[in-house]
Structure 1
Amino acid sequence: MITNFSGKKISAMLGVVPETIGHFDDEIGNYSFPAQQTMRLKKVMGYNQHRLSKETSTVSDFGVFGLNYILQNGWIKKEEIGAVVVVSLCPDYFVPHNSNIIAGNCGLGDGVICLDIAQGCCGFLIGLMQSFMLLDHLPNKKVVLVNGDVLSHKISKRDRNDYPLVGDAATITIVENDTSAKSIYYEMHMDGSRGNALKIPAGGFRMPNSPETAVMRDLGDGNFRALDHMHMEGSEIFNFVQTDVASMLLDVFNRNVAKIEDIDYFFFHQPNRFMLQKLAEKVGIPKDKLFMNLVENFGNPSGASIPLTAVYNCCETLLSKNSRCCLSAFGSGLAWGVMFMDIGNLDHCEMVETTL
């Protein structure tokens, strides 16, 4: 899919992170590998610390906390909200939906559209796409886009491949119409034939959770996990990023959709520092314009990674001036996409901690 959106902008961004911090150095005893071998990954992959929510906390908890914070601080009025879009892999329940839970707990009226989208790594780009389309039918309203996951609940603490990467977080982005906004280029690709490269085998209707799916096993690579746990085939995802994602980016720059030198910031999904470094080298992206520090400070928060990267690194700049940005995400699905849009002169931009 390739398209353009007109007359749309981001007006505010909030990052919400749990206060609990897990330190990589404290977790190396969980793994069945020599400590010295495990510590070598710290520098290469960018492991250091990650944010972990309580076992009882859910995505709707983060969404309610964040939206109430925005409402109480006057970022937006309830009557201005036309839709709540939640993009997550972590529903509180099969029914009701997280968007309805958030809208109900925040006291929004029954005229507000509530919509859940089950997407992971590309969740921010897909959420923006849906928000832009809704705004075409909500000319005098704004859309509240919530991206969030608590995937630490679904990853084995004895899995060195996956657990050091994960980070729990949510972001809330306010999107609205603006006739003066520059055109937004949007491109998205999906290939379900490779979807098993990032998967939680059990928990849905195909394989319901059971005592058997909860059994921890060494699956042959020294990492212990159950069928209830998420697993990423690291080599497959790395090759996918270096081939499909790199080819997409090279193509858009070769077609002069945008010029690398004209981009102020590259806000990319944050799988790990090593993967981003290799992607930057292949595409020719200056490393001083591509932030790679989210995993070492927060972990990889799935679909919230792009807005959280922007908030963490560029809040003051995004509040004070407009910047030409390249947004790219890639991962679960498999899915990969890219956007070019101006982000800046925001009304509000902030990160807050919560006890969740």
Structure 2
Amino acid sequence: MNFKGKKITDIVSVVPSQISRFDDEIENYSFSRAKCMKLKEIMGFDEHRIAPENITASDLCEFAFNHLVENKGLQRESIDAMIFVTHTPDHFIPPTSSILHGKLGLKEDSLCFDINHGCAGFIIGLQQAFMLLEQDGINKVALLNGDTLSRKINNKDRNSFPVVGDAGAVTIIENDNNTSDIKIFTKNRGKDAMVLKIPAGAFRMPSNKDTSKDIDVGDGNFRSLENLNMEGASVFSFVQLEVPLMVDEILKVNNLSKDDVDYYMFHQPNKFMLEKLADKIEVAREKMPNNIVEIYGNSNSVTIPVNITHNLGSKLLEDKKLKLCLAGFGVGLTWASMILDMGSLNSCEIIEYEE
């Protein structure tokens, strides 16, 4: 898809103040301390942010939105549409976007809806925002990404729990005729959707006393059918094969070389995967930051805004435009990418949630 006259003006990410450390979690895993420390080095395990049980993804996004209102001059009545992207809604019914509409004090004729998406969810959300901005009467869209996926991952699963993190983000997008065209590629491979799943808990397999039992899955990890289950080798192979091809494709249609891009701000499943991906694409690892998991954790669709605000926050407040390639990949299986110029933002920061 090709869009004209669209601009990101604000990005605020929010993380819980509660820090969980891999070194303190080692006793949960049926692995020697020496092997755990080797995993820490390779995968980038260190700290991650875990939300208290009473805090939801919508709470994190509400906090970030109110920060923009109270500290950055965002006007609630200026929001013509609001999109909430999450895998962890407050309820099955009503939509969490409806709850947020009320809490954020948005006007009654603002369009609000949820998108159930994960790793590529930031780019999917931006695409939806851009399409909404093509409509008369919609001039400013708030994209909210949030997940508290930590409570759906077993803390005895050393493959997944050390990398998970909870976070939220608010991105404001507006019409602006002084911007370059933006092209977005999205692809799906639904036949392989179940390589990343939570099997039980919805209507295909409702929760019961058996689905909540921890099971030794055979590699020293424990999880129940209500926990996240990822076929790691399949996901790794998919990312290493398909994402470089998409990056080559989007560079080609933009008439750009790899060196023309200032930063590759990608979804961050773990440090190891990003290092291998940078090598496969043949770009310097310094241009593809991979430090988010070891500081905050993998927060699903929120990793890209967390990546941007943590690593480029001050740079993007300057007048100079940076050319960024964004890419998200994973749950679905879905992968998406875009290239855009970003700079002169009103705000670009990461904050801690306070109750």
- Does TM-score exceed 0.5, indicating one fold? yes
| 1:183 aligned partner, one-letter code | D
SS state at 1:288 partner: helix
| 1:88 aligned partner, one-letter code | T
SS state at 2:286 partner: coil
Rounded Cα–Cα distance in structure 2 between residues aligned with 1:214 and 1:27: 22
Q: Is the 8 A contact 2:193 2:333 kept in 1?
A: yes
What do the CA deviations read for 1:44-85 (whole angstroms, capped 9, x no partner)?
011110000011211111122111121122431012100110
- The Cα of 1:254 is off from its aligned counterpart by 5.1
Rounded Cα–Cα distance in structure 2 between residues aligned with 1:14 and 1:255: 30
**Residue pairs, 1:264-283, within 5 angstroms:** 264-283=262-281
Rounded Cα–Cα distance in structure 2 between residues aligned with 1:79 and 1:185: 29
Rounded Cα–Cα distance in structure 1 between residues aligned with 2:83 and 2:159: 31
Q: Is the 8 A contact 1:81 1:142 kept in 2?
A: yes
Rounded Cα–Cα distance in structure 2 between residues aligned with 1:58 and 1:255: 40
Q: Is the 8 A contact 2:80 2:137 kept in 1?
A: no
| 1:144 aligned partner, one-letter code | A
SS state at 1:179 partner: coil
Query: What is the match of residue 348 of structure 1?
Result: 347
**Residue pairs, 1:59-70, within 5 angstroms:** 59-70=57-68
Query: What is the match of residue 325 of structure 1?
Result: 324
**Residue pairs, 1:234-245, within 5 angstroms:** 234-245=232-243
- The Cα of 1:140 is off from its aligned counterpart by 5.4
Rounded Cα–Cα distance in structure 2 between residues aligned with 1:37 and 1:168: 26
Q: Is the 8 A contact 1:218 1:225 kept in 2?
A: yes
Rounded Cα–Cα distance in structure 2 between residues aligned with 1:59 and 1:326: 26
Rounded Cα–Cα distance in structure 2 between residues aligned with 1:126 and 1:342: 18
What do the CA deviations read for 1:257-301 (whole angstroms, capped 9, x no partner)?
421111111100001111111111111111121111000100001
Rounded Cα–Cα distance in structure 2 between residues aligned with 1:205 and 1:160: 28
Query: What is the match of residue 298 of structure 1?
Result: 296
| 2:119 aligned partner, one-letter code | C
- The Cα of 1:100 is off from its aligned counterpart by 1.1
Structure 2 alignment gaps of length 5 or more: none
**Residue pairs, 1:1-356, within 5 angstroms:** 3-139=1-137, 141-253=139-251, 257-320=255-318, 321-355=320-354
RMSD: 1.2
What do the CA deviations read for 1:147-194 (whole angstroms, capped 9, x no partner)?
110000100000000100100001100000001110001101001111
Rounded Cα–Cα distance in structure 1 between residues aligned with 2:278 and 2:285: 7
| 1:145 aligned partner, one-letter code | L
| 1:18 aligned partner, one-letter code | P
- The Cα of 1:87 is off from its aligned counterpart by 0.5
SS state at 1:220 partner: coil
- The Cα of 1:250 is off from its aligned counterpart by 2.8
Rounded Cα–Cα distance in structure 2 between residues aligned with 1:266 and 1:77: 32
Q: Is the 8 A contact 1:214 1:228 kept in 2?
A: yes
Rounded Cα–Cα distance in structure 2 between residues aligned with 1:257 and 1:146: 31
- Aligned pair count reads 354
Identity score, percent:
44
Q: Is the 8 A contact 2:72 2:346 kept in 1?
A: no
Rounded Cα–Cα distance in structure 1 between residues aligned with 2:288 and 2:278: 8
Rounded Cα–Cα distance in structure 2 between residues aligned with 1:54 and 1:355: 11
Q: Is the 8 A contact 1:139 1:177 kept in 2?
A: no
| 2:229 aligned partner, one-letter code | H
* Structure 2 length-normalised TM: 0.97
Rounded Cα–Cα distance in structure 1 between residues aligned with 2:176 and 2:104: 26
Rounded Cα–Cα distance in structure 1 between residues aligned with 2:230 and 2:258: 30
Rounded Cα–Cα distance in structure 2 between residues aligned with 1:191 and 1:140: 32
**CA 1:255–1:104 in structure 2 vs 1: closer, same or farther (change >3 Å)?**
closer
* Structure 1 length-normalised TM: 0.97
**CA 1:336–1:257 in structure 2 vs 1: closer, same or farther (change >3 Å)?**
farther
What do the CA deviations read for 1:221-255 (whole angstroms, capped 9, x no partner)?
11000001011111111100111112222333456
Q: Is the 8 A contact 1:59 1:98 kept in 2?
A: no
